[in-house]
Amino acid sequence: MQNPTHKEDNEHIETKTTTCYMCACRCGIRVTLKNGEVKYIQGNPEHPLNKGVMCAKGASGIMKQYSPARLNKPLLRKKGAERGLNEFEEISWEKAFEIMEARLAKIRETDPKKFALFTGRDQMQALTGLFAKQFGTPNYAAHGGFCSVNMAAGMIYTIGGSFWEFGGPDLERARLFIMFGTAEDHHSNPLKIALSKYKRSGGRFISINPVRTGYSAVADEWVPIKPGTDGALLLALIHEIIELGLYDRDFLVQYTNAAELVDTDAESDQDGLFVRREEEAQEGKCFDPQDKLWWDRQTNKAVKTHTENIDPFLLGEFTMEDGKTVKPSFQLLVDRVKEYTPEWAESITGIPADTIKRLAHEMGITARDYQIELPIEWTDTWGKDHETVTGNPVAFHAMRGLAAHSNGFHTIRSLSILMTLLGTIDKPGGFRHKAPFPRPIPPCAKTPKGPEGVQPNTPLAGMALGWPADPDDLFVDDDGQPVRLDKAFSWEHPLSVHGLMHNAITNAWRGDPYKIDTMLIFMANMAWNSSMNTTEVREMLNDKDENGEFKIPFLIVCDAFQSEMVAYADLVLPDTTYLERHDVMSMLDRPISEFEGPVDSVRIPVLPPSGECKPFQEVVIELGSRLKLPAFVDKEGKRKYRDYPDFITNHETEPGSGIGFLAGWRGKSGEKFMTGEPNPQQWEMYEKNNCVYHYELPRSYQYMRNFNQGYLKWARRHRLTRFVEPITIHLYSEVLQKFKLAAQGKYGERRPPEHLRERVETYFDPLPFYYTPLETQLTDTQKYPLNALTQRPMAMYHSWDSQNAWLRQIHSHNYLYVNRKTALENGIANDDWIWVESMHGKVRCMCRHSEAVEPGTVWTWNAIGKARGSWGLSEQSNESQKGFLLNHLISEELPGDEHLSNSDPVTGQAGWYDVRVRIYKAEADEPEQTSPQFDFPKKIKGLGKVSQWLTYVAGKGGKS
Amino acid sequence: MHPAFSVIFLTTLIGLGQGLFLALYTEQVYSILKVLQTQVYIEYFSKASMVSLGLLVLGLIASFFHLGHPERAWRSATQWRTSWLSREVIVLPISMFFIFVYGCIYHFDLNATLFNVGEIPINISLIVGFIATLMTFSLYVSTGMIYASIRFLQEWHSPLTVINYTLIGVASGFTLAAAIASEFAPGLLNFYTGWSIALIIIAFIFRLFSLLRNKNLRPKSTVQTAIGIRHSQIKQISQGSMGGSFNTREYFHGKKESFVHSVKWIFIVMGFILPLLLLISNFYFNDQNILLAAVLIQYIGLLFERWYFFADANHPQNIYYQMIS
Amino acid sequence: MSQLALVIDLNVCVGCHACVTSCKEWNTSGLAGYLSDKRPYDKDPTGTFFNRVQSFEIGQFPKTEMVHFPKSCLHCEEPPCVPVCPTGASYKREEDGIVLVDYDKCIGCKYCSWACPYGARELDEHQKVMKKCTLCVDRIYDQSIVEDERKPSCVLSCPTSARLFGDVHDPDSDVSEKIREQGGYQLMPEWGTKPANHYLPRRKTSLTIHHDELVRADNPLKKEEQLPQPDFDDPSLDDVTSW
Ligand SMILES: Nc1nc2c(c(=O)[nH]1)N[C@H]1C(S)=C(S)[C@@H](COP(=O)(O)OP(=O)(O)OC[C@H]3O[C@@H](n4cnc5c(=O)[nH]c(N)nc54)[C@H](O)[C@@H]3O)O[C@H]1N2
Ligand SMILES: Nc1nc2c(c(=O)[nH]1)N[C@H]1C(S)=C(S)[C@@H](COP(=O)(O)OP(=O)(O)OC[C@H]3O[C@@H](n4cnc5c(=O)[nH]c(N)nc54)[C@H](O)[C@@H]3O)O[C@H]1N2
Ligand code: SF4
Ligand code: SF4
Ligand code: SF4
Ligand code: SF4
Ligand code: SF4
Ligand SMILES: [Mo]
């Protein structure tokens, strides 16, 4: 160390770029290897997403790579052994494939829906979705349903785009930024980069959250709110903004359906539908036809929307020539929010009415008086040229704090409407879309409409997941019963656009709507943190029928680590790590696009697979080929793709479509993008370009994309969309009204089953309304007065990182954070052992007093607690002895015999954050250990060695 | 601070050894100055010097357990210009050397008189002993200053630390001297017992002083100065490592307040009061076992004293490491 | 004489711990390495880190602030940890003010750590020597690294760029300017250790709303009347004159 810059010369150093996958953010990384071992993982400064920065997880990739909890051989449950005990024998990949092939081929020949494929926090839904569709099963979904589908659906059904991975706040130019219910989010690093720049440039940042940590810590103002009540707040903000005239009238008129006339004849079967000019009715196309009417202020008559030089009414009630009474939809919104005063909201949200009013004023005034005007010419879809792009610099962001409640859909609709009122959609300083968004409202993909879409030896006649526009788009049989195992797209949750993975195991176990044969779980820890009601789900996974057969006959789990779920598998497929495989972040799934244009990226292995690990991608290609699924074999039924990289290069969505998984460097020699013939050099080109493809749109295509003629034509030319019609913002949702009408027996053919009729009629409201979350409605809130939440810790990804020696030192166990006063009122001191009890169960854990949480809320870090014996940890590990999982308290079904999912009644979004609890001190003689505890399963043979000391130095074969 | 047994043994053992030597030399000076009319207990001097040396050696051995790399311990002598630890490392072997020589002089009976100053005969042992005494005192100062010089540890940063180290060491050494004398030099017994009693009383007074001082200390660093935020209510909620770290192991004793409190009473009783009573009672009973008990009890008491000395010190770094989560 | 240091902007630090683990990964295979971990997969895992992020709650609900507070060695200008070291293993570099430990000399006596009021040093319990932040001295001068990246690992990784790196003795450096203009301060100034690392405080942006901004003439609510369209029969010029 006397000469600290001295270097050894016997080092073989190489540096490779790829894409991080310690979380779904997908930053570009540079991996330095010393003698073939990972020495350093740093952010790639040339990557558009993270611009060189990292996060705690990304920088701990070394410890993931060399974790002793990694699976390294295919495993088969020993004959006769119970599930959950890790009693496995090692088998060869060939044997594993034979088992799967035999089983799946038989299912496909008979009843493809008996195979269910569910995937967790993966990023390859393009491939897994393709596989499921080709197989012919409707039972496919990824984590979206239990993650944030409310966010996707609520916004996409309103503005044609969403936060999550599809859009975000333009902090580069915003002046006021309001963040609802976000702890970390998917866009981790970019959001942090943007937030600090924003704060440094003097922007004002307000966080609305029951808890103040993470991002909220650096907010200029923290507005603590009672969980599940943001809808009330947002409606009151809308009320105040309308009352003071702080909305952007021109924007509402031109770009939303605010001025469009709605039939208000309650008796008519047209009630609540837009009045249309008959002659232009266009059926079956997935866009909003321009056939609606405005009421002209000049002539006092109904006129075609967007007639030049017409200024319509936004308010009022009018009578059409045929005597029909109509109102602009904005008037209906005004009527709706009349009662939603700030004073009303105060009693629900706990936020003083004055604060609510001030927030509304800040938003309205900033939007109006700090307007941005950029010298960017653009042309709208009605052909009008604009010399500038204007922006009202109020930006919002929201995530699961809004989404993960059973009233989240309407809350998020309210937020989208608030953003729209302020005129901030796809404008500088406001919300900005990211390709492939905006999409038509709703997007075009549809599931089959009934059971006939599922046929033996045939691909599914539609997508497994879609975007219903109409009750006719539901995936139900003639009795209105679900076709999907998770009951998605049924009357129970009509707009469950991401499925309901959280009900898949319970439904399969109960055989409701039917029994299945094989379930393949990829990258989802369903025996632990991604299930609700974890204790019972674990029992279901191991439950047997009268004949002694497992109720879920065959479970295949593909995982990279010894997770809780692995223990329950009949067949375990050991996956590689992100450093060992090819991978694609595709425009067909969730790319990493920027505001300025589409971006997709790849992973290229920097290390060979460890042990006998095989990338799941290769497993899918292999299985697809063996099962002779059309997309994977040629006309003779012979295997089409050598391997996954080959598939990526050569697969086209349809022969000759020119659309593949990757958008960059298409065409014979890489001269095209988005569409173009397969390019044999595509991988090399990605490799040379930091594993990322970034297309920057011309400036005039970068804003107002819902109505930007240039952009929409560009998007159609490059097959991002099929339509160039404007994507009018749905302040008023006719889609929802159609479901309501159907429930009232006034629309279409399909009717909800009687027990769901009232539910559909209530929750399918074309305008947002506030209701108490469903579970709370059914809870004795005297007995269970507190809301219990989880938050994402920045230094952990779900359950993934307890096997990571560095990250687990930062979060080795978790506490329940309770407002100090609340705790003291309950006689609970700091660090006391307490019970947290909900209607569904109870857990014992340690309490921590906090001043940074609203008094009616308790919270903990998500998924830190682990089951004893998993993740390569010792029996005494803090994770299992002091850590706990809140999921034991949360039910996947609402109380009652109907087996209704504990989800948003519109979208099927899991209501994680609706649970109500009470807390009390544990008895003095109870063990100082969290409860429940689970049996210590056998150690899986052949996992990495664990020793007392870890002294990692790269390049020395693990020796220091 | 987390009390480390290596350091507790090191400081108590060498303190005792040094004290024992000082007891010998005191007697020698007294007898030379004819304050005491005694015969020369050669065996006693040689045996007791070796015991003293032995204690220093044991202390040195104990100190090695404190080091991560004892094989490099020699390096620690290099920074005598700035480091009290370095100074201790230098003075300790020098002291040992001179005590060794002192003992040898008696053992091999080499104590020739070199010259006379007036009526006082200056013999070799007097000179060697004088140097050893200087070294012994330097050693007390060095050891004490290791602790007293760290100004952040306000409990330690006081002359009292050096004074206490010295007084307590000397007192324990005189008690031991008394016990050894009861076997080999009965004539010196009362001399040593008397001294011991006096020293224990003085040491006790000074120790009580420091207890009082520390009780009234106001920490100079607060969480406000530690993180630079002016607010009366600041609470740490996370220290960044949940399984603990060097900072939580080295600076926290990890014991309940009540435990620390009882340690204080134990050392007051065992380190001072009991030995005092035993020594006094020995004037009446004159039983060797009582003296041995006094030595043993006092030593154990001083182990507690030293433990408490560490536990009592609150390092400002602790402000940063209050809360696991 | 230059003095390199970190300046940490508490105004933007979100407590993500990126700096913590990226420091660990750089240094574990670097010159300071390894950084051992004890019981890595067992109870109470613990290890050597040069940088930790802590969190503090300030005030009482609802007026609560939450401050994330990263801390590594502050490279004091008057480092009390250096003179106490008996072996000379701890030293402060003349040329750039970095305080380092020479592991080949350190005997692991921990004395220097006692003399650091900030708790910035950590004994590597496996290698049994004292370790601490090196300011990535093996990165910042490494000519084989492109110039832009010759910065400490924690600085490169920090997503909010809350960690600034530079020479606090150079009045024109970015860090000096920030310290001057944004109230940069030192920790525990009462000890006179003169930490080279500085911290920048939270700053707040607020918006003042004037009443008249809420009642303006261009209020869109005023645009909801029927636009004037006179009746055919209303008087007109034609009625009164014939040019
Ligand atoms: N480091 C890390 N990053 C991750 C993940 C991870 O596990 N670790 N997970 C990824 C995944 S899958 C997802 S879905 C995203 C989720 O990203 P986030 O949505 O940011 O994640 P959550 O932790 O669920 O955050 C919910 C926040 O909402 C607040 N909240 C809860 N209820 C309410 C409410 O009713 N109103 C308001 N206003 N706030 C409320 C909570 O206090 C919390 O701060 O994060 C992704 N990013
Ligand atoms: N209480 C509560 N529960 C929640 C949430 C909450 O906020 N609160 N959030 C919910 C949300 S939003 C989500 S998205 C889910 C997340 O839930 P999941 O998507 O299920 O995430 P995990 O369970 O952490 O990870 C799934 C598995 O992926 C494995 N894995 C990691 N890397 C790889 C790999 O490279 N290959 C393979 N094959 N496997 C790998 C891990 O070992 C782990 O077993 O959790 C949900 N659960
Ligand atoms: S944010 Fe996610 S993708 Fe980016 S570095 Fe961190 S773990 Fe990796
Ligand atoms: S922070 Fe501590 S270790 Fe670093 S220079 Fe200052 S006193 Fe020394
Ligand atoms: S632990 Fe090492 S660096 Fe610290 S004082 Fe001792 S020898 Fe010096
Ligand atoms: S400067 Fe280097 S050694 Fe110091 S904290 Fe940052 S990364 Fe760690
Ligand atoms: S990386 Fe930056 S933002 Fe994250 S904890 Fe460290 S200093 Fe704070
Ligand atoms: Mo999620």
Q: Which of B308, B68, A474 is nearest to C89 (CA)?
A: B68
| Token pair recorded at residue B244 | 């603990």
Q: Given a cut of 70, is residue A136 above it in pLDDT?
A: yes
Q: Given a cut of 70, is residue A259 above it in pLDDT?
A: yes
Query: Which range, of A243-257, A508-522, A943-957, averages the lowest pLDDT?
Result: A943-957
User: Could you give the C-alpha distances from B122 to A386, A815, B32, B188, in angstroms and in order?
Assistant: 112, 74, 9, 21
Please return the burial class of A880, using the count of CB atoms within 10 Å of its CB with bins 0-12, 13-18 and 19+. buried
Nearest CA to ligand 5 atom 8: C85
Residue C229's pLDDT band (cuts 50, 70, 90): confident
What are φ and ψ of residue A164, in 5° steps? Answer: 70, -125
Test B242 with A851 for CB contact under 8 angstroms.
Answer: no
Place of tokens 């790579």: A65
Preferred mutation among C61, C134, C136, C139 to probe A, highest tally of A CBs within 10 A:
C61
Look at residue C98 and tell me if it is in a domain. Answer: yes
User: Percent of chain A, pLDDT > 70?
Assistant: 98
As a whole number, the mean pLDDT across chain A is 95
Q: Given a cut of 80, is residue A730 above it in pLDDT?
A: yes
C-beta of A209 in contact with ligand 1 (< 6 A): yes
Over residues A145-165, mean pLDDT: 95
Q: Which of B80, B14, B20 is nearest to B48 (CA)?
A: B20
Look at residue C205 and tell me if it is in a domain. Answer: no
User: Could you give the C-alpha distances from A209 to A154, A430, A791, C153, in angstroms and in order?
Assistant: 19, 20, 11, 33
Question: CB–CB of A766/A272 below 8 Å?
Answer: yes
Over residues A286-290, mean pLDDT: 87
The pTM for the full model equals 0.96
Helix (H, G, I), strand (E, B) or coil at A514: coil
Domains parsed from chain A with CATH numbers = 13-54 (no CATH), 160-436+727-732 (3.40.228.10), 774-921 (2.40.40.20)
Nearest CA to ligand 2 atom 46: A530
| CA pair distance C105, C98, nearest whole angstrom | 17
Q: Given a cut of 80, is residue A282 above it in pLDDT?
A: no
| Token pair recorded at residue B276 | 């005092």
Q: Which of A437, A736, A409, A485 is nearest to A597 (CA)?
A: A437
Q: Given a cut of 70, is residue A9 above it in pLDDT?
A: no
- Convert the pLDDT of each residue in A35-85 to its tens digit: 999 999 999 999 999 999 999 999 999 999 999 999 999 999 999 999 999
What pLDDT is recorded for position C232? 78
- Give the rounded distance of the alpha carbon of A547 from its chain centre: 39
What pLDDT is recorded for position C77? 98
Look at residue C114 and tell me if it is in a domain. Answer: yes
Q: Given a cut of 80, is residue B133 above it in pLDDT?
A: yes
| Token pair recorded at residue A787 | 């809301």
C83 & C139 share domain: yes
User: What distance, in Å, lies between the first and last C-alpha atoms of chain A?
Assistant: 17
C32 & C117 share domain: yes
Over residues A185-204, mean pLDDT: 96
**Which positions ≥6 away from A419 have C-beta within 8 Å?**
A159, A394, A396, A425, A430, A431
Pairing of strands A394-398, A75-77: unpaired
A834-872 residues labelled b (16+ CB within 10 A) or e (exposed) = bbbbbbbbbbbbbbbbbbbbbbbbbbbbbbbbbbbbbbb
Q: Given a cut of 60, is residue A2 above it in pLDDT?
A: no
Over residues A131-145, mean pLDDT: 96
Over residues B66-85, mean pLDDT: 95
Question: CB–CB of C72/C8 below 8 Å?
Answer: no
- Amino acid occupying residue A399: M
Pairing of strands C163-167, C4-9: antiparallel
Ligand nearest to the CA of A151: 1
C-beta of C158 in contact with ligand 7 (< 6 A): yes
Q: Considering just the CA atoms, what is the radius of gyration of chain A in Å?
A: 27
| CA pair distance A178, A498, nearest whole angstrom | 27
**Which positions ≥6 away from C147 have C-beta within 8 Å?**
none
C-beta of A537 in contact with ligand 3 (< 6 A): no
Please return the burial class of C228, using the count of CB atoms within 10 Å of its CB with bins 0-12, 13-18 and 19+. exposed
Residue A937's pLDDT band (cuts 50, 70, 90): confident
C234 & C131 share domain: no
Look at residue C105 and tell me if it is in a domain. Answer: yes
C-beta of A19 in contact with ligand 2 (< 6 A): no
- Convert the pLDDT of each residue in C140-165 to its tens digit: 999 999 999 999 999 999 999 999 99
As a whole number, the mean pLDDT across chain B is 94
What pLDDT is recorded for position A283? 63
Q: List C122's β-bridge partners, or say none.
A: C131
- Convert the pLDDT of each residue in A631-640 to its tens digit: 999 999 999 9
To test the pocket of ligand 6, the residue of C21, C27, C118, C149 to mutate (highest count of ligand atoms within 8 Å of its CB) is: C27
**Which positions ≥6 away from B20 have C-beta within 8 Å?**
B48, B51, B52, B55, B173, B174, B176, B177, B180
What pLDDT is recorded for position C227? 83
Domains parsed from chain B with CATH numbers = 5-320 (1.20.1630.10)
Q: Considering just the CA atoms, what is the radius of gyration of chain C in Å?
A: 30
Cα-Cα-Cα-Cα dihedral sign, residues A356, A358, A362, A364: positive
Q: Choose among A5, A358, A369: nearest Cβ to C142.
A: A5
Pairing of strands A916-921, A786-791: antiparallel
Q: Given a cut of 60, is residue B164 above it in pLDDT?
A: yes
- Convert the pLDDT of each residue in A204-219 to its tens digit: 999 999 999 989 999 9
Q: Specify the ligand 6 atom closest to the Cα of C132.
A: 3
What pLDDT is recorded for position A6? 57
What pLDDT is recorded for position B68? 95
Q: List A522's β-bridge partners, or say none.
A: A119, A558
Ligand nearest to the CA of C194: 4
| CA pair distance A488, A495, nearest whole angstrom | 8
DSSP C129: E
C155 & C61 share domain: yes
C75 & C95 share domain: yes
C12 & C56 share domain: yes
C24 & C109 share domain: yes
Q: Specify the ligand 4 atom closest to the Cα of C195.
A: 6
Q: Given a cut of 80, is residue C134 above it in pLDDT?
A: yes
Q: Which of B300, B298, B295 is nearest to B272 (CA)?
A: B298
What pLDDT is recorded for position C28? 96
What pLDDT is recorded for position C225? 87
Over residues A901-917, mean pLDDT: 98
| Token pair recorded at residue A611 | 């042990």
| CA pair distance B216, B229, nearest whole angstrom | 25
Helix (H, G, I), strand (E, B) or coil at A223: strand
Nearest CA in chain A to C91: A2
Over residues A724-738, mean pLDDT: 97
Q: List C197's β-bridge partners, or say none.
A: none
The helix-helix angle for A353-369 and A230-243 (nearest 10°) equals: 60
Look at residue C46 and tell me if it is in a domain. Answer: yes
Test A809 with B325 for CB contact under 8 angstroms.
Answer: no
C218: containing domain: 211-240
Please return the burial class of C91, using the count of CB atoms within 10 Å of its CB with bins 0-12, 13-18 and 19+. middle
C179 & C149 share domain: yes
What pLDDT is recorded for position A1? 53
Q: Considering just the CA atoms, what is the radius of gyration of chain B in Å?
A: 22
C164 & C185 share domain: yes
C133 & C181 share domain: yes
Residue A938's pLDDT band (cuts 50, 70, 90): confident
Please report residues of A whose CB lies closer than 8 A to that of B242.
809-813, 878
Q: Which of A862, A224, A348, B242 is nearest to C59 (CA)?
A: A224
The C-alpha angle A592, A597, A602, rounded to 5 degrees, equals: 35
C218 & C193 share domain: no
| CA pair distance A465, A495, nearest whole angstrom | 10
As a whole number, the mean pLDDT across chain C is 95
Over residues A678-685, mean pLDDT: 97
Q: How far is the CA of C23 from the centre of ligand 6 (A)?
A: 5
| CA pair distance C17, C160, nearest whole angstrom | 11
B181-212 residues labelled b (16+ CB within 10 A) or e (exposed) = bbeebeebbebbbebbbebbeebbebbeebbe
C-beta of C109 in contact with ligand 5 (< 6 A): yes
| Token pair recorded at residue A475 | 């995936």
Over residues A814-823, mean pLDDT: 98
Q: Per the structure, how many domains does chain C have?
A: 2
Q: Given a cut of 60, is residue A805 above it in pLDDT?
A: yes
Determine which helix (DSSP H) or strand (DSSP E) holds A38, and give its type and residue range: strand A37-43
- Amino acid occupying residue A536: E
| CA pair distance A543, B278, nearest whole angstrom | 75
Look at residue C74 and tell me if it is in a domain. Answer: yes
User: Could you give the C-alpha distances from A752 to A270, A765, B174, B280, in angstroms and in order?
Assistant: 19, 15, 99, 100
What pLDDT is recorded for position C226? 85
C124 & C218 share domain: no
What pLDDT is recorded for position B180? 95
- Convert the pLDDT of each residue in C17-75 to its tens digit: 999 999 999 999 998 889 999 999 999 999 999 999 999 999 999 999 999 999 999 99
Q: How far is the CA of C74 from the centre of ligand 4 (A)?
A: 6
Question: CB–CB of A706/A159 below 8 Å?
Answer: yes
| CA pair distance C17, A807, nearest whole angstrom | 9
CATH code at position C92: 3.30.70.20
- Give the rounded distance of the alpha carbon of C203 from its chain centre: 14
Over residues C130-142, mean pLDDT: 97
